[in-house]
Structure 1
Amino acid sequence: MFKVTVLVLVCFGMAAADFSDDFESFSPGDDISSSPSWDKAPVGGDAVVIEQSGNNCVNAVFSDSSFIGYVCTAAGIWKNGSVAMDFSPSGAGSFSNVYARLNPVSSDAYAAGLTVFMGTLTYQYIAYIKSEGNYEVLYSGMGPQISPGEWANVKLQVEGADPVTLTLYINGEQAAQAVDTNYLLQEGICGFALYYEGDEPSILMDNFEVIANPLSLAETSFGALKAMFR
């Protein structure tokens, strides 16, 4: 799926906060990392704002990479809550994910998303992403049909410590749930990641939203991190 590594960068006081971004504050052509709310991989493609039908959205520009990854720094570090984003993918082999509880030490994370595998047909999934780039699928099944130009909202809700309950919502409806009793990732950071295999796809994004329950002082005392991807 995709590889994730973490570069530790101490940024104290990065407590959890609800956050949403419809990208209307950007100008077309801006990389969203021009805002302090976002940080991106030093290696990989870019998320660039475009105007579509009078509204801003974000276009995936892969360039010479098959991966794009961004951290939502504005949402801080959190444990229980949800992360969601609208995706409009077109092209077989594309993966559109939101992720949560990216671990500050191991760089493991939980992810949920959609992959287009043929025409308008998609799979939906919940996965545990390992630091070395491998992953374990905790759930997979048929997703919604998405025609070119159509959008789907993907939301991952994460609750609990042992076990951890992961719930996937598609377009506001519960689509699947997985219970993790093995990896038990705790507080971490969130964002979105894109990947493709085969021909380069078209992926648009919009309306990123995090609803997070604040952590205690003890839970946030280790400081904050920026996540970097490869």
Structure 2
Amino acid sequence: MFPFYFGYFDPTYIMLIPAILFSLYAQSRISSTFSRYLQVRSYKGITGAEAARIILDRNGLYDVPIEVIRGHLTDHYDPSRKVLRLSEDVYYGNSIASIGVAAHEAGHALQHQSGYAPLSIRNSLVPVVNIGSNLSWVFIILGFFMGFSAFINLGIWLFSGAVIFQLITLPVEYNASSRAIKQLEENYIIDDDEVRGARKVLDAAALTYVAATLMAVSQLLRLLIITRDSRD
């Protein structure tokens, strides 16, 4: 955003290059790793939906339904409705990748059940961040072009909320993956050598959240520098 402003090249844009490159690497890593283990069938032939159901039931979450949704890697747990939604590849697939992703989403349900604090905080921030992240750039752009520092400051405060959200998301996602691996092992859903493959899939997925956080933090620092320079 803003490679040029007021007709001049913005040198602070260079600050985003490491985050952009890491994001490209993270996307490539999850794409290649997921595709690889999507072709590796589990020994027991359990599907992602079956694996998630086992984890949920073994932890007393009988009332959490599992639904299939369209899209690629659109899997998620909806805490507001207590529903676990899996993409078709994951729901019907009996691969290591499918089971790993399904177990991860079930891990979010376990977090919700136990009142995991970071998840509760993240969930409470969702409506605020959804509105704030969209409005932040509106205020920032108007502030720069109209010369209203108050708009710029408001935009940065709103964008800071999105950064905080990303920072909180990191422990939530890593914890869900940790719970997933533990459940896969304790419930003998897949064999020990298959767990390594599932862990690789989840580690690759976690990199995308690291990349999003790095991008958000880099963008915030850049905006602060631009604002400081414009005032000078």
Q: TM over 0.5, yes or no?
A: no
Query: TM-score interval w.r.t. the shorter chain?
Result: under 0.3
Q: TM-score, normalised by structure 1?
A: 0.26
Greater Cα radius of gyration, structure 1 or 2: 2
Q: Which structure has more strand as a fraction of its residues?
A: 1
Q: TM-score, normalised by structure 2?
A: 0.26
